[in-house]
Amino acid sequence: MSHSSSNRRGLMVILSSPSGAGKSTLAKRLMTWDPSLRFSVSGTTRKPRPGEVHGKDYYFYSREEFQTLIENDEMLEHAEVFGNFYGSPRGPVEDAINEGRDVLFDIDWQGGQQVRNSALGKHVLSIFILPPSIPELERRLISRAQDTGDVIEDRMKKSRDEISHWPEYEYVLVNDDLDETEARLKSIIKAERLRLSQQPHIVDIVRGLNKEFEERG
């Protein structure tokens, strides 16, 4: 029996970090390393922006549709942000897991808690990325040159709250060196893919071994 990736279940990889700790860069590197890795496409009740495609950028739902999905346990996590719902639809993630494909989640600690407590929680691999220092975190935010001073200050305040949730994660990595952190991330994912919950075919192999014992008499 070949032990190809199709025999295993996919992982739900939750990557969380304060803004500026390097999560987006690391996620891009992971997807270059393994092109089968995909971000979970979020669902939302906000209107599509020009050029956005349903099922690719977001799944676009009416409020009624979204509420029904929540009631039917079809959202792994959800939150209301500025009057619109956002969440992770269960169906596409479940399909990926059953096909042996890993799904990346770019969600905060609250979303992470919901996903861990969901029906698919046993497939979760949660990793928190810490900055090496607070001055370095601020330097990275400033060097991105994407935000005004006020926005950076807000992000720094939010970071303190986000960092306080580090003990809720299975793995915590300090991103002091991007290449090193990437190597450690890959090691974690490779090992977790071999977790027993991800390898349902092992049951059949053990049955076969027991049968061979019986045949020996």
- The DSSP-derived string for 172-190 is EEE-SSHHHHHHHHHHHHH
Stretch 59-68: mean pLDDT: 97
pLDDT value, residue 6:
61
Q: DSSP secondary-structure letter at 20?
A: T
pLDDT value, residue 77:
96
Tally the C-alpha atoms within 13 A of residue 203's C-alpha that lie toward its C-beta: 6
Question: What percentage of the chain exceeds 70 in pLDDT?
Answer: 97
Whole-number CA gyration radius for the chain = 20
Lowest mean pLDDT among 1-10, 90-99, 177-186: 1-10
- Two tokens at 33? 């390393």
Stated pTM of the model: 0.88
Contact criterion met (CB below 8 Å) for 88 and 43: yes
pLDDT level of residue 5 (50, 70, 90 thresholds): very low
Stretch 164-190: mean pLDDT: 97
